[in-house]
Amino acid sequence: MEDYKNFLEEILISKEDLQTRIAELGAEISKDYLGKELLLVCILRGGVFFTVDLMKKIDIPHVVEFMAISSYGAGARESTGDVRVTLDLQINIRDKHVLLVEDIIDSGLTLASVIERLSAQHPASLEVCTLLDKAARREVDVPLKYRGFNIEDKFVFGYGLDIDEFFRGLPFIGVVDLDKYEPAD
Ligand code: IMP
Ligand code: MG
């Protein structure tokens, strides 16, 4: 994989702006779930950086579980809605206050399928916290309780989000210049 600087169009959200917003979300969540037992469900792999930083800003007792989803038959950059659970929750969420933590919502197909699946287990509540929202791309409605940033319809990477699995570890959100990026395959 080549250096990301070859196709970085711009830094859309800086490290500092990410952390400031995550602190605000953490405070809001701490207030809203006060007195309740909060269960964060991190959607792997993209949601992992956001989940970890968010947990540091949530000052009420909470636990975290992980779920991994892949969109079957998808091109590298689009959801098909044919969503497969590749790592399922290891606990029963009945009567739990569940907050799903996602990196980005694009078509909404991935999350809609996760919500449908988890609802069947009768949690006490089920809400969504996404770092990024590409609202213009939405195909199915998903109820969002917490949203870090609204972004335009651009392909972004860093801070959990990948380009062909690379660059998740960058501390900022960057925009890919698709004229300059050559997919590996
Ligand atoms: P959705 O099912 O279309 O909402 O797609 C959501 C998933 O697609 C996210 O969890 C990401 O893994 C991936 N995704 C969507 N947009 C981007 C992007 O701009 N960069 C990297 N991954 C993305
Ligand atoms: Mg994802």
Fold of 4-72+83-176: Rossmann fold (3.40.50)
pLDDT in tens, 69-120: 987 655 556 776 678 899 999 999 999 999 999 999 999 999 999 999 999 9
Domain ranges of the chain: 4-72+83-176
DSSP for the chain? Answer: ---GGGTEEEEEE-HHHHHHHHHHHHHHHHHHTTTS-EEEEEEETTTHHHHHHHHHH--S-EEEEEEEEEETT--TT---S-EEEEE--SS--TT-EEEEEEEEESSSHHHHHHHHHHHTT--SEEEEEEEEE-GGG-SS----SEEEEE--S--EEBTTB-BTTB-TT-SSEEEE-TTT-----
Report the residue among 13, 100, 104 best suited for mutation to probe ligand 1: largest number of ligand atoms under 8 A from its CB. 104
Catalytic residue, candidates 53, 88, 103, 106: 106
Q: pTM of the predicted model, to two decimals?
A: 0.94
Ligand at minimal distance from the CA of 164 is: 1
